[in-house]
Amino acid sequence: VQLQASGGGLVQAGASLKLSCAASGRTVSKYVIGWIRQAPGKEREFVAGISGSGESTFYADSAKGRFTITRDNAKNTVYLQMNSLKPDDTATYYCAADLPQYVVVTTTPSMYDYWGQGTQVTVSS
């Protein structure tokens, strides 16, 4: 599975951004797709994930109520709508794919097998 993230940018606090993750390869719709972010000097942090069918989603506490993950399997694309952005959301955002065996949505970054390049999100105060 190949992944390409896009949609990052520089915004002010309170603004919105929509990230996209374009996937290619066989049976992409079987894969959980997650968004993981990493700020300078910090560990990777799971943000949101969506099951292959799109029926199940999971959010980090920091994302609940502000971020929404969706997917369009016809377009092999996963989206992350981010509203009410805060300076603490500043990070490089990566999309990643996993084919989990025991969970519906993978929430541990190290368990993801395939990664795209990151897209930078910078939120100014």
Of 124, 89, 96, the C-alpha closest to 110 is 96
7's CB contacts (< 8 A; 6+ apart) are: 17, 18, 19, 20, 119
Share of the chain above pLDDT 70, in %: 100
Mean pLDDT of the chain: 96
Q: What is the pLDDT of residue 26?
A: 76
Strand partners, 59: 48
Residue 100 is predicted with a pLDDT of: 85
Residue 65: closest CA among 77, 53, 73, 57: 57
At residue 70, the pLDDT reads 98
Distance CA 83, CA 14 (A): 7
pLDDT-flagged residues of the chain (< 70): none
Tally the C-alpha atoms within 13 A of residue 104's C-alpha that lie toward its C-beta: 10
Token pair recorded at residue 98: 């996993």
pLDDT the model gives residue 103 = 83
